[in-house]
Each structure stands twice: as C-alpha cells, then as structure tokens.
Amino acid sequence: MHNVLTLGKIAELVGGELRGDPAVEIRSVAPLSSAGPGDLTWVVDRQHAAQLSECQASAVLLRCGLENGQLSAVVCDRPELGISKVLECFMPPLPHPPVGVDPTALIADGVTLGEESAIGPRVLIQRDVAVGRRTKIHAGAVIAAETQIGDDCTIWPNVVIRERCRIGNRVVIHPNTTIGADGFGYNFDETRFRKIPHIGTVRIEDDVEIGANSCIDRGKYSETVIGRGTKIDNLVQIAHNVRIGENCCIVAHVGIAGSTELGDFVTLAGKVGVKDNIRIGNQVQAAACSCIAGDVEDGQIVLGIPAKPKSEFFREHLAVRRMPKALEDIRDLRKRIERLEAANNQETS
C-alpha cells in the first residue's frame, strides 16, 4: 500500500463528521489490536472504544455515540462500511491479463469476444461462446460450448464453466471453481447404479461472486439458479436444480441438496447442511453447523441439528442443561421415599 489519504479526505469519502486535525496522514488500515502510527483503525461498540486510550493508531473510524479518547476520529453511522471504502483506496491493482487474446489461448469457431475483453494464457474457449465487454478470463480457465458470459466479469485461473451455462454481468468467479458439472443423481437397478442424465444448465445472475473451489451443479432437467447479488464463499456445494434468491450470503462448507429453493436475503453460516426438496423463506438466518431438514418460514433464525427456531432451540437447550440437577433431585426423592417406606414398614410390623 503506497497511497496516502488525509483524515479530511477520509471524512469526505465516508460522509462522516471529522473530530481532530484534517491533515493527519493515513497510510494503511489496521485492526485495533495492532494499529500503529500512520494507521486508521475502526470501532463499532463501547467495549472496543474503551481500548482506544491505549491504541497507537493515528486515527479511528468511530460509530456515532462512542468516545474516541485522544485519537483523531471520523464519526459515522456504519464504520464497517466506511472502512471498506477506505480499503478500496489502498487496494493495489489486481493482476489481470492484458486486453486481447493471449497467443497460447485456444479459441474455437463461432466465439464472440466483447470489446476490451482479456483472454489469458492457455484459456480454452469452445465453440459458440459469447464473452461480454471488458470481461477478464484468467489463465487455464475452460469455457465450454454455447456458454454466455456477460459484461465486466472476472473469471479467475482454472475455473471451469461447462456447456450452455449463462453468466450475468459483473460476476466474479474465483480460482478452481466449477460451474455446470453433472448433478449427483443415480438409480439402482438391483445390479448397479445407473447415472441419471442431467440435461439442464446453470444461470448465474448479475453481481454474483463465487469463492474458490466451489461447485454449482447443472440442473437435471431445467436450471440451477443463483440470484442477483448473492455472495458464495469458498468450498460450497450447490446441487442440481437448486434456486437461490437475490442477495443471499452462503458461507464456507455449506451444502445445499437438490431442488431446494432459497428466498431473498438468506444467510447460511459455515457448514450448514440443507436437505433436498425444501423451501427456505426470505430473510432466514441459519447458524453455523445447523442441519435444515424441512421448510423454514420467512424471517426465522434457526440453529441446531435438526435446525429449529431460535426460541425453541434455546428452550430445549436450557432444559438439557437442567437435566443433571433434575436427575440428582429424582435420586434424592427416591432415597427419601425408600426411607419413608422402610420407616412405615417398621411401624406396621
């Protein structure tokens, strides 16, 4: 990072209120625990604001209503969003292939390349593919026949996009991800497993980002769909005919089984497993390591195995925590009953 921003410029950038010297120079961004001179840090709660008196940063991006100690500050409603804008200013240029087609790339007949597109080394593009304007395809990627890729996309190294897939505009696909592989479908005929043909495809809408080493399988007979604005982490498995709505967040190690439908603004935290042929409503949140085995209504927060609504899960969890004491009380009651019965037998004998 070689850029330098003044604190006054940062206040303008994030739309915040300046407290301190606008000429303070910021050369980098660092977390509160390690920030030093020349760094900008950020604080969003009172617990961390209490640590600012010991912080060595040059300035802090601070949530409204918090005290900044002795540091110069920019105060705003959403420091976590503001810090992203600052990081964009310090981010070095990404290493994209130059505009044009690398001499080692293999381009089949009938391929259409948009203006200012960039095709890197050893890329393979099969017949009748259409690549949009300013789209960058990095080294070793394979784009299979009849696929369409929109404008301003970035396809990182060794991505595989199988035949007839549809990729929207401004889509980012990170290294080693596969789009449009066959779904996992077999029938057992009493002697062996017979593969079910998957003749569908994958449609990825605008502004989607897909992490590294993820797999999105093609539909068995129609489309697997990733809705506009959805963000998918690394190492995610999305099976055939899944339909994911708009602006969802799918975190690492999530597995979604076939023909399941997610609404809009759904968040699945790390290692969530989702059963096939169910529907998850809009604005659902699933905690890490949950297993969703049935339909979930709009707006629910679910967790556990199997996943249950938050209130129900904690009620049951509290009951389980109380179980050892309940068992101890039952043992004590049993002993008291035995003593009473023994005393009663002695009186009647």
59: tokens are 């300035």
**Quick check: bond before 306 cis, omega within 30?**
yes
Place of tokens 């290493």: 95
* DSSP-assigned beta bridge partners for residue 29: 40
First CA to last CA distance, the chain:
94
| Candidates 48, 174, 198, 240; catalytic one | 240
3-class SS at 153?
coil
Token look-up 């948009």 returns 114
**Backbone phi and psi for residue 72, each to the nearest 5 degrees, phi listed first:** -65, 150
Number of H helices, E strands in the chain: 4, 40
In the numeric block, which tokens belong to residue 139? 């080294």
Burial 279-300 (b: 16+ CB within 10 A, else e): ebbebbbbbeebbbeeebeeeb
| Contact predicate 208/161, CB 8 Å | no
User: Is 198 known to be catalytic?
Assistant: no
Q: Where are the alpha helices (DSSP H) in the chain?
A: 7-14, 46-49, 79-90, 310-348
Q: Tell me which residues are annotated as active site.
A: 240
